[in-house]
Structures are given as C-alpha cells and as structure tokens.
Amino acid sequence: MTEIRRRDPRREWVARNRLHPEHASVLAALGDIGGRGAASEWLGPQGVVRRNPHAVGFIGPNGVRRIDRSGAQQGGEAPGGTRQAVKDDRRRVEIPEPAFLVAVVPDMAGGRLSGHDKDLLGLARRLADADPERPGAVLAVIFGQHKGEGGGEMKEQAFGEAGIDRVLHLEDDAYAGFAPEARLAALSAVEREWAPRHWLLPDSPLGGADLGRRLAARLGERPATGVWQLEADAGSPLGWRCTARGAAESLDILRPLPRVALALAECAEPVDETRHAAEPLALGSELPALLSRVEDLGQVAVDPAGVALAEAEFILSGGNGVKDWDGFHHAARMLGATEGASRVAVDDGHMARDRQVGATGTWVTARVYLAVGISGAIQHLQGIQGCDKVVAINMDSGCDMIKRADLAVIGDSAPVLEALVALVEQAREEKRDAA
Amino acid sequence: MQPEKSMAPALAVTVLVSVGRHPLTGRRRRADRDARGVELACSAPGAKVSLLHAGVLDEASEAALRDYLGMGFEALTLIEQAPGADVLPALAERLEAAAPQLVIAGERAEQGEGSGLLPYLLAERLGWPLVNGLAAVEGVEDGIATLLQALPRGQRRRLRVRLPAILTVDAAAPAARQSAFGPARRGRLEVAEAPVVEDPALAEWQMVPARKRPKRLKIVKAASARERFKAAAAKAEGGGGQVLADATPEQGAEAILKLLREEGVLTR
C-alpha cells in the first residue's frame, strides 16, 4: 500500500458543508478511514489532523448535544441508544487452598446481610488478605434462612460479593428463635473441624454480642469487645493490634488482637472490588441432639403505641393531607402501626409533639414508613432517611415524598386507608374462620 | 425485704452490683443496669434478694454502693479485692456456696474493661443457663422461670428457663427506684475475704480516653467527571418507585397490603 494520500475534493467539500444532504454519510466515511467509529477527528491529506466540532459529543436525553471532555464518552454513542448495562468489573477471587480460615458469624437480621455484617466481612477480608503470598479464606457461618435475592445461584452471588469464600449454611428449626445452646454447639463443631485462626462476630444487640461472648467463654479465649480499629503489629501473637471501646464507651483499649473479636459497626470498609466464590461447606459429623434448658415461647405482641418512635418497625405517619383523624387513628390501631406525624400536623394540634418525625422531631429507622398526606419537606425526608421502604398516599403526584417512595398511591387518603383497613379486617376474618 | 405474701418458698435471688460512672461528670454512682436489675429482682414475686459486690472498698465506691442499700436493703455483701484484680473466682466460689436460684447482673460494667463478659464466664464456670437482655421476670414456678426478653425495635420475647440461671438486664427493664438517704446510711456493708487473683493481661493493655470515631465518608468510585458530578448532586431518593396514578382506593390499598405482607410488618 502506498504512502501517498489521495484527495477526494468533492468529499472534502461535502464534509465542510453542513447543509449538504450527504454530509452525515461522508463524515462517517471519513471517520472510518481514520479507523474510528466517530468522525470527529481524521487525518487530512497533508497529514494534519482535521476536527469536526459538530461530531463531538452525543445527543443527550433532552435532545441537547452534551460534550464530556473527561474522555470517558468518545463522541459516538448511538443517538437514542439504550443505556448500556453496567459492566461488572469486579475481580473474581478464588482461594483453593487457604493458609488459614477467618470465621465470621453474621447476624443475618431478617435473613439478609446487614450493613454491620458487611463491615465485619470487610474486616475479615483485611485479616485474610494481609499476606498476598499466603491468603486466608473467609468462612461465614449462617444460621437460618437466607432471604436475600431469591435462592440458589443468586444467594451464592450475594454472599460472594460480600467477600465470603466458604459458606456453612445451617438451616434447621433447632437454630430458630432464641437458641444459644444449639448455635454454640454448632460453632464448637466448626472449631473442632476447621480450627479457624480468627473468629469475628458483630457486637450488636441482634444476637451477635450474646453469641460471641458465649463462644469466647466456651473456647476459653478472652475476646476483644467493641473493636473498631485494627492495625498490623508484628509484636502481637496473631500479628494484629486492635482498638476496642470499653467502660461504657468512655475508654479506648489498645491491645493485641485475640482469637475471638466482637467488632462494632463501621469497623472496616465493606468489600466492593472483588467477588468471591462462596463455596458451600458442610459439617463432617452430625451434631448431637442436646437438651435445651431455655425454651423459646415466641415473640409477644407489644402495644405499638408504647414503642418509641425512633425504634418502631412500622410507622403510619399523617400530615397536612389527613382530614379524617379518627379514621387515621383507627387505621393505625388496625394495622398495628406506631403513629407518627409531620410538623404541620403537630403544629395544628392533631398529634402530640413527641410523635413528630423529621429533623426537629425524631429520626426514625422503620422498616416500613407509610406516609399519608405528607408532601415531603426536606426536613421530613431527612428524618426518614433510615427507613427501608416508604409508602406514600398523596393527592399531589409531583411532590417530593412521591419521588422518595417505593410505592406511591395518588388519591385522597381517607378512602385508601378505609379500603386498607377493610382488607386487613377481611383477611383476619378469613383466618379466624379457617382456624 | 419484700413482705412475703405467697405460701411458696422464697426465691433466692442474688444481684451482682457494681460501681458505675456518671457519663458526663465521671463521678462514681450506682450503675444504671445494675440498679435496674435490683428493681427487677425486687418486683419478682416471692423473691428474697441479696446484693453482692466484688471490688475495692474505698470512700468513693462505698458511697456508690450505699445507693443500692438506699433502695431498701439492710445489707450488702462486699468481697474485698485489689484494684485491677480478676473478680471471677471470688464471685464464682461465693455463688457456688450460697447457691441462689437466680443471679441477676447488668449487661456491662461502666468502668474498667466493660466487656460484659463476667456473666458469661460465670455461667460457663457454674454450668448454669444464661439469658441476656432481660426486660421482666413474669413468674417462677416449680424451678422454671418465665422471662420477658427485650429485642431490638421494642419487641419482646417470652422465654422459659430452668433454674438456677444467670440473667443480664437490658436497658428496657423498668427504671430503678430512687435511693433513699436514710436507709442508705443505716445499711451495712458486710465485708468478706477472698483470695485475690491478679489479672496480668489487663495491666499490659494501654487504656486511653475514648477518641471520637472517624465518620465514614461517602466514597464515590466514578470514572468520569459526569458520574462524579451526578453522585455529588444526587438527592436522597429511593428512585424507581412504583406510582399508582389512576387507581381506585381498593387497588391502591391492595398494593400497599401486598408490600406490608412482603415486609412482614403485619402481625396477628
């Protein structure tokens, strides 16, 4: 192939003339010669780079040309093209022959890995990956059901993304409810079979704090409780030093990391750059049946009005849009929800001041927050940041609460609440008839 | 101390009390959880309550311990120990000898290591069952106690436990009664002797006043300026929520009910 560049004056003329009907196709052809899909830049006949500023960038969703100069967007996204699926670029890590094991017992509150559990797994990864020559594996001991994102493959994926190499899933009725003796027996069996180098548990009231202390007492180890910081230290027996909270949060204890550690939330960053195998493991031997001295009679129904607003699980909150307050209170009673209110409802005297949700009232952490007739002032939205699911019933379809809500019903609140109460009553009647 | 109305034999309850620390002033006081434990023990039907403390006897701790006596007790047993000593053997021997039916302790000490491990070590050593997070003692019959355990989010769980047992008290237990000055002055501290076991590990650790924990920053891993800007300018929104615009109230209610059922917040 010759080095001499041939000119096509007509094509160049068309390329310069934006109004020419063949302009776009000629530009594309010139771009192809340049070896790129985009025609914003090509090498001219004299070896000079020619630019077409009109071909730079892409047409944004509103039909306006957008130019991204960071280099990520290289001019040629197909106009009106669908958004590409986010590429999963996490590194896959498999540790076939680990040098040691780090055992983690997550809380799995509600059958999912909580934020605290993920932090703890991040801490476990730090311990396991400290020496890249001889990496350890993170073993998670899971009691009870896993509800994450369906069963099978998805479950393994959720565990793997949290940084788990091996999973021991113990699903048995014996571990349900308050069963510290059965769980402790299972953990003792893990200790006998694999002898993990580290045991990590969350220092949380959801069960981790209790189980961890029981385990430490059983293993005869002196655990570090309330651990929130970890640093490498060659002088310690396990090669790590930790900072632990003591004396009602008023002291920091600097000590060598023991085998059993109970860590606070945010003790480490959760894993997000790697994906792990989460291979299932099984205990080699059957656990002996043991006679429990503690019998669980199940949860007790508590009066929802007596539950503190900050820790209520299910809140029915009313605002300016509620006109029928008797119906609102009736609905709260029937649904078994704790009552909350927006500032306007409190100022108007419909609700007590201690029921106010928001920046000036209470910051709530409910699992379900049912907002009735609340438009969603920013102070109110701040107060419900910690809620998992938000349901809104509102007349105004453009308000901020609807944008925040996971489920929004547009309409007058009173008939919707009435219908909801009727449905709940009907379900209860059917249950009673069946029983 | 409580007038015994029932015919049933008295239930021997020992409450392990400790010297607390006021969170703001740092002064010695009765520990909050321990005081709640004393209150629980007093309100248990047919209970004969005794108080037990192992630790240093000096002026400040005596004043704090007398706060427990002011809750209506004539005496408190104090096992004298050196500062920083391991009190576990002394307490275990004492409890083995006294053999109470119930031992109630606070969840964690307000001073020293404060790991909350002592009840667990006692339970392991004595071989007794342990129940944590106690909110109320509902009754004791035929050597089986019915308890109410406090769970997070204000929930309660009912448990039956075979006695003797060790219970630790949650913050949800009823608030302790006031301490009266007169009974506190009149009450006796019965000092008992026990061999002192040193705790060498505790002496090696470095204890410093608690530092403020660093706040976690929201780290945005974005490749381009556009993504970084979008992350910085984003409002806290659930995003992608389902909106039922033209639904009848019945349809809306059904959708809400479905979500409530999925989340499992509808009880009964």
- Over residues A289-341, the pLDDT tens digits come to 777 888 888 888 777 777 888 888 889 999 998 988 999 999 998 888 899 99
Q: B127 CA to chain A: closest CA distance, Å?
A: 11
Are the C-beta atoms of B188 and B76 separated by less than 8 Å? yes
Cβ–Cβ below 8 Å for A245 and B210: yes
All residues of chain A having their beta carbon less than 8 Å from the beta carbon of residue B110 are: 247-248
- Which of A246, A314, A409 is nearest residue B247 as measured by Cβ atoms? A409
CA distance A412 to B164: 58
| Segments of chain A assigned to CATH 3.40.50.1220 | 304-434
ipTM of this model?
A: 0.86
- Indicate the residue type of A342: S
pLDDT at A113: 84
Chain B residues in contact with A393 by the CB 8 A cut-off are: 252, 256
Please check whether residue B246 touches A, CB under 8 A.
yes
Q: Judge whether residue B222 has pLDDT over 50.
A: yes
User: Who wins on pLDDT, A327 or A434?
Assistant: A327
Contacts of B225 in chain A (CB under 8 A): 68-70
- The pLDDT > 90 percentage for chain A reads 26
* Residue B123 clears pLDDT 90, i.e. is over it: yes
| Per-residue exposure over A328-360, b if at least 16 CB sit within 10 Å of its own CB, e if not | bbebbebbbbbbbbbbbbbeeebbeeebbbbee
| Predicted pLDDT of residue A247 | 82
Which stretch, A27-36, A38-47, A138-147, A237-246, has highest mean pLDDT? A237-246
A385 close to B (CB below 8 A) = yes
CATH superfamily, with its number, for domain A304-434: TPP-binding domain (3.40.50.1220)
The more confident residue out of B261 and A289 is: B261
Q: Count Cβ atoms below 10 Å from residue A13 Cβ, excluding itself.
A: 11
Domain boundaries defined on chain B: 11-204
pLDDT of residue B231 exceeding 70: yes
B57/B268: higher pLDDT: B57
Give the model's pLDDT for residue A147: 63
As a whole number of angstroms, the longest Cα–Cα distance in chain A is 95
Query: A419 vs B201: CB contact, 8 Å cut-off?
Result: no
pLDDT attached to residue A87: 56
Nearest CA in chain A to B265: A314
pLDDT in tens, A33-87: 544 445 677 787 888 888 877 777 777 777 777 787 776 654 444 433 334 445 5
Any CB–CB contact under 8 A between B217 and chain A?
A: no
The fraction of chain A above a pLDDT of 70, given in percent, is: 90
CB pairs under 8 A between A and B: 248
pLDDT at B6: 46
Look at residue A103 and tell me whether its pLDDT is greater than 80: yes
Q: Is B255 on the interface with A (CB under 8 A)?
A: yes
3-state secondary structure of A155: helix
Indicate which of A203, A210, A213 best probes the interface with B, i.e. most B CBs within 10 Å of its own CB. Answer: A213
| Cα–Cα distance for residue pair A325/A318, rounded to 1 Å | 9
Is residue A121 within 8 Å of residue A129, measured between CB atoms? Answer: no
Cβ atoms < 10 Å from Cβ of A118: 20
B4-25 per-position pLDDT tens digit: 444 456 889 999 999 999 988 9
The Cα of A359 is separated from the nearest Cα of chain B by a number of Å equal to 15
By the CB < 8 Å criterion, does A214 face chain B?
yes
Given CATH 3.40.50.1580, say whether it is the number of domain A98-281.
no
* pLDDT the model gives residue A71: 62
B249 in A contact zone (CB under 8 Å): yes
Average predicted confidence (pLDDT) for chain B: 86
The mean of the pLDDT values for chain A is 83
Q: Determine contact, residues A417/A327, Cβ cutoff 8 Å.
A: yes
pLDDT confidence band for B268 (50 / 70 / 90): low
> CATH 3.40.50.620: which residues of chain A?
98-281
| Secondary structure element (H or E) that encloses residue B255, with its range | helix B249-263
Residues of B in contact with A225 (CB under 8 A): 115-117
Q: What pLDDT does residue B154 have?
A: 80
> Mind listing the pLDDT tens digit for each residue in B200-212?
888 888 889 988 8
**Of A246, A296, A418, which has the smallest distance from its Cβ to B114's Cβ?**
A246
Residue A348, chain B, CB below 8 Å: the answer is no
Sequence-separated (6 or more) residues with CB below 8 Å from residue A151: none
Phi, psi dihedral angles at A117 (to 5 degrees): -60, -40
Report the residue of chain A nearest B160, measured CA to CA: A295
- pLDDT exceeds 90 at position B52: yes
Give residue B233's pLDDT: 73
Note whether A314 contacts B265, CB cutoff 8 Å: yes
CA B188, CA B69: separation in Å to the nearest integer?
8
pLDDT greater than 60 at residue A107: yes
Q: Inter-chain contact B117–A216, Cβ cutoff 8 Å?
A: yes
B145 neighbors B165 (Cβ within 8 angstroms): yes
Asked if residue B36 has pLDDT above 90, the reply is yes
A207 chain-B contacts, CB cut-off 8 A: none
User: Least CA distance to B205: which residue of chain A?
Assistant: A255
Average pLDDT over residues A229-252: 87
A396 shares contact with chain B (CB less than 8 Å): no
**For range B82-101, the mean pLDDT:** 90
Give whole-number Cα distances, B57 to A342, B15, B82, B87, B190, in Å: 53, 18, 9, 13, 11
CA distances from A166 to A153, A388, B224 (A): 15, 29, 35
Could you tell me the pLDDT band of residue A148, with boundaries at 50, 70 and 90?
low
State pLDDT tens for residues A161-208: 888 999 998 888 888 888 888 899 999 999 999 899 999 999 988 888
pLDDT tens digit string along A247-284? 888 889 999 999 999 999 888 888 888 888 888 888 88
Asked if B23 and A336 come within 8 Å (Cβ–Cβ), the reply is no
**What pLDDT was estimated at residue A76?**
43
* Yes or no, beta carbons of B224 and A73 under 8 Å apart: yes
pTM: 0.77
The answer to whether B133 faces chain A, any CB pair under 8 Å, is yes
The pLDDT value recorded for residue A295 is 86
Q: Give residue A64's pLDDT.
A: 79
Q: Does 3.40.50.620 match the CATH number of domain B11-204?
A: yes
